C-alpha cells in the first residue's frame, strides 16, 4: 500500500522546470514516467476516467522540439498537469463524472486551459470526480469510486478526489480541481497535498461546468506551496468571458514566497469543530 503513495522525480513543477532548463530532463521522459506510473497503479487507485497517452506523448515531443529550436514558450513549457473532468478541454470528453454527458466532447478550452497552454503546459487526462461535483468522497462518480493511495480502504475526499489521488500516487506533478464548499481543500488534506481555493473572481470560471456559480472556483492541487503559487500566477487574472472576474491583473504569488516569514501569525481553531461527535482521536491529535 505504501508503494501507491508516491512522488515523481522531480517531485514538483518548479523542480521539473529547473531540470528542463538545465537539460537534465526532457518533457518526453517526464511524460513516459507519468504514463508508466499510470499503467502501474491506476487500476487500483482509479484516479482517471480517461487518459490519452498518445496525445500526451505528442505534446511533450512538441515541447522538446520548441526548446531545442530556441522557441520555448517559457519556463513551464512541456510540464503536464492533470485536469478535473468538469473543465472544458477542446476535443476531449467532459462528463463531470456523469453518464448524462457520456457522449459530450468539449468544443473549446476553458480560460484556465488556454492560459496553461500559453505557457506550454500540457493538460492531460480526465480526473474522476463526484457526479457534477456533488459529493465529498469521489465515491459518487457514475463510473467508479477513486481510492486514497495512502490507505485504499479510505476515500480520497472530493469532489476533486481524482485530481488529488493522481498527484498523491505519482501520476501527476500537479492537477486542477474545482472548489465550491471544500472540493479542493478537503481532498488535498485527505491525500497529503497543498490545495487552494482562490479568492472569488481571481480565476476565471469560463469553461467550468457549474455546480453553484456563486461559489465555484478553479484551483491547484500540488505537492508544495511554491507549486500552488506558481499555478495561481498562470491561471489567475481578469477574463472578459467571465462576468464575475475581478478587474486588473494577477500574479506575483510565487515571487512573494521569497523571504516570506510566518512567525508571529496566529491561527484560529473553532472550538465547535472539536466538539463534533465521532471526531477520530488521530485527527484531533494531528490538528492539535
Q: Which of 47, 72, 84, 137 is catalytic?
A: 84
Cα distance between residue 230 and residue 32, in whole Å: 24
Distance of CA 183 to the CA centre of its chain: 11
Q: Which residues pair with 50 in a beta bridge?
A: 126
Q: Which of 47, 72, 137, 159 is catalytic?
A: 159
**Is 183 one of the catalytic residues?**
yes
**Is 159 one of the catalytic residues?**
yes
Given the C-alpha cell 462528463, which residue does it identify?
A: 95
Catalytic residues: 84, 159, 183
Amino acid at each position: 500500500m505504501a508503494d501507491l503513495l508516491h512522488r515523481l522525480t522531480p517531485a514538483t513543477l518548479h523542480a521539473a522546470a529547473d531540470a528542463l532548463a538545465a537539460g537534465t530532463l526532457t518533457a518526453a521522459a517526464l511524460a513516459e514516467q507519468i504514463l508508466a506510473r499510470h499503467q502501474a497503479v491506476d487500476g487500483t487507485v482509479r484516479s482517471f476516467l480517461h487518459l490519452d497517452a498518445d496525445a500526451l506523448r505528442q505534446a511533450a515531443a512538441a515541447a522538446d522540439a520548441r526548446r531545442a529550436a530556441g522557441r520555448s514558450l517559457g519556463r513551464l513549457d512541456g510540464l503536464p498537469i492533470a485536469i478535473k473532468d468538469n473543465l472544458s478541454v477542446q476535443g476531449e470528453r467532459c462528463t463531470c463524472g456523469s453518464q448524462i454527458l457520456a457522449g459530450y466532447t468539449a468544443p473549446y478550452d476553458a480560460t484556465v486551459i488556454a492560459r496553461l497552454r500559453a505557457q506550454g503546459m500540457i493538460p492531460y487526462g480526465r480526473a474522476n470526480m463526484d457526479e457534477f461535483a456533488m459529493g465529498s468522497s469521489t465515491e459518487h462518480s457514475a463510473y467508479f469510486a477513486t481510492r486514497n493511495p495512502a490507505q485504499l480502504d479510505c476515500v480520497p475526499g472530493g469532489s476533486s478526489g481524482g485530481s488529488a489521488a493522481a498527484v498523491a500516487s505519482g501520476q501527476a506533478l500537479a492537477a486542477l480541481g474545482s472548489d465550491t464548499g471544500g472540493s479542493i481543500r478537503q481532498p488535498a488534506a485527505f491525500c497529503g497535498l497543498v490545495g487552494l481555493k482562490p479568492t472569488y473572481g481571481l480565476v476565471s470560471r469560463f469553461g467550468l461546468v457549474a455546480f453553484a456559480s456563486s461559489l465555484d472556483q478553479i484551483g491547484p492541487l500540488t505537492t508544495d506551496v511554491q507549486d500552488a503559487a506558481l499555478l495561481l500566477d498562470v491561471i489567475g487574472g481578469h477574463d472578459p468571458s467571465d462576468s464575475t472576474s475581478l478587474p486588473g491583473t494577477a500574479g506575483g504569488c510565487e515571487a512573494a514566497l521569497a523571504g516570506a516569514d510566518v512567525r508571529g501569525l496566529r491561527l484560529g481553531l473553532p472550538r465547535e469543530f472539536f466538539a463534533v461527535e465521532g471526531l477520530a482521536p488521530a485527527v484531533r491529535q494531528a490538528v492539535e
